[in-house]
Amino acid sequence: MFSCQITAPNRRCRGYRSEEIAEGLGLIATCEKNKIKMFQAGAIPKLMLMMESGSSREKIFAIKVVWQLAFHQTTREKLKENSDLMKLLEELSKDSDSGVSNTAQGARWVIEKQAEEKSKTKRESSQPETTGHVMISYQWENQKVMLEVNKRLQSVGIKVWMDVEHMAGSTLQAMAEAVEKAYVVVICISPKYKESPNCRTEAEYSFQLRKEMIPLMMQRNYKPDGWLGAVLGTKLWVDFTQKSIFEESMNQLIKLIGGYAPLSNDAVKGPIVPSNANQQMANKSVPVVSTWTKEDVAAWLKENKLDFCLTLFAAYDGPLMHQLQQLRKEAPDFFFKSLRRDIGFSSLTEILQFIDALEKLHN
C-alpha cells in the first residue's frame, strides 16, 4: 500500500508520492471487481490517514478513492458502518478548501445513499413537468466543446443548465436540483467521463429519476461498458467526435431534444399537432412520433393494418419509436437483426409491411 509514503518526511517511497498512489488507486477502483478487493486489502485505514494528515491534493485523491468504492453496494454498506470514516468525511465536507469539501460531499452523498432516497421521494410525489431545462453532464476535458453546444442550444430557445454558469453553494445540492428540474440530461460519454466519480454520480442520479438521456460521443471508437454501459443501455448517441460534422451533430441534437421538450416550450417543440395518431392521420398532418403515447402507437399500428404487431409493440411509446427510427437510419444492419431477434417478427412479409408504414413517419 502507501503507508511509507504517508509517514516519510518527503511523502515519497520507492519513487512515488502518496498522491500519485491515491490517484492510481482511484483509476483502478473504477473497475467494479477491484472495489471489494481494495476494501478487503485494507485500503480504508490508509486512505483515512491521508485524509487526516495529507495536503489538500492528497486529501482529494484519497476521498475520490472512497467515493469510487462507494458505488459498489456491498462496499458502500461497509463504509457507512465505519463511524470514524463518516465523521471524518463530515468534517472534510466543511473544509476551507473547496476542492476538499466538494469531494467529501460527493463521497458522503453516495455512501449515505442520499441520491437514492431522494429519488424515491421524488418518484412518489412527482407531478408531470411542464417546464424545465436541458442539463449537460460532462467531464472537464470536453468543456470547450460543450460551452459551444450550450451557446448554440440557447440560441434556438432551449434553456440549458451547465455547471460553469449555475454552480453555487453545495455542489451536490446544485447537481441534484439540476437533475430534478431537467426534462433531458445530455451525457458526454468518454473514458474519462466513466472514470469520474462526479460524472457517475450525476449519471446514476439521472437514471434513478428516470430522466430522458441523450448520449453524446466525445471520443472516436469508444464503446461504453461497465456502469456507463448499463446506464445508457441501447440508447443511440450523437457523434461529437469530429469538428467537421459539428453542424450536423448540433442539428441532430436539437431535433432529439425537441422530441422531449415540455409542453410549454413551444420554441423547441415547434408547431402543435394533434396528440392522437388517428387524428393526425385523418387531418393529414405530419405525425410527431416522439410525442406519442403507447395508445398512439397502437392506433398507428391499427391504422396501417399492423394488428399483428400490437403485442410486439405493447411497451412502446413515442420516444421509443423515435429511437427505433434513428436506429434504422444509423445502424440498419443492427436494426433489421433486432426486428426478428429482439422484437419478435416471424416472417419477412411482416417486416416489409412494418417498414412500409415506418417509411411514412417523420420524427
Residue 130 clears pLDDT 60, i.e. is over it: no
Q: Residue 238 pairs with which residues in a beta bridge?
A: 216
For 109, 123, 157, the CA distances from 114, given in Å and listed in that order, are 5, 14, 33
Q: What is the pLDDT of residue 128?
A: 47
Residue 148 clears pLDDT 80, i.e. is over it: yes
Any idea which residue has 476535458 for its cell? 141
Rg (CA), the chain: 24
pLDDT tier, 355 (very low <50, low <70, confident <90, very high otherwise): confident
Q: Does the domain spanning 3-112 belong to CATH 1.25.10.10?
A: yes
Residue 151 clears pLDDT 90, i.e. is over it: yes
Lowest mean pLDDT among 9-13, 56-60, 193-197: 9-13
Residue 181 clears pLDDT 80, i.e. is over it: yes
180 close to 205: Cβ distance less than 8 angstroms: no
CATH number of 122-266: 3.40.50.10140
Question: Is the torsion defined by CA of 150, 142, 212, 315 positive or negative?
Answer: positive
Write down the mean pLDDT value for the chain: 81
Task: Report the percent of the chain where pLDDT is more than 90.
Answer: 33
Any idea which residue has 403515447 for its cell? 293
Phi/psi of residue 45, nearest 5 degrees: -60, -40
246-268 average pLDDT score: 79
Q: Give which of 261, 274, 245 is closest to 322, Cα–Cα.
A: 261
For the chain, where are the E strands, in sequence order?
A: 12-13, 16-17, 133-137, 160-161, 182-189, 212-217, 238-239
Residue 356 clears pLDDT 80, i.e. is over it: yes
How many residues does this entry show for the chain?
Answer: 363
Residue 163 clears pLDDT 90, i.e. is over it: no
pLDDT in tens, 306-347: 888 888 888 888 888 888 887 877 777 778 878 888 788 878
pLDDT in tens, 270-300: 433 333 444 443 333 334 677 788 888 888 8
pLDDT in tens, 87-124: 999 999 999 998 899 899 999 999 987 656 665 655 55
DSSP 131: S
H helix or E strand, kind and range, residue 177: helix 171-180
Lowest mean pLDDT among 5-9, 58-62, 198-202, 204-208: 5-9
Residue 247 clears pLDDT 80, i.e. is over it: yes
pLDDT in tens, 77-87: 999 999 999 99
Q: What is the pLDDT of residue 160?
A: 94
Residue type for position 287: P
Residue 27 clears pLDDT 60, i.e. is over it: yes
Q: What is the pLDDT of residue 272?
A: 33
Lowest mean pLDDT among 51-60, 113-122, 136-145, 249-258: 113-122
Q: Give which of 306, 310, 319 is closest to 351, Cα–Cα.
A: 306
Q: Residue 12 pairs with which residues in a beta bridge?
A: 17
User: Domain-by-domain residue ranges, the chain?
Assistant: 3-112, 122-266, 271-359
For 46, 132, 190, 316, the CA distances from 273, given in Å and listed in that order, are 61, 21, 37, 20
Lowest mean pLDDT among 42-46, 62-66, 83-87, 332-336: 332-336
139 close to 199: Cβ distance less than 8 angstroms: yes
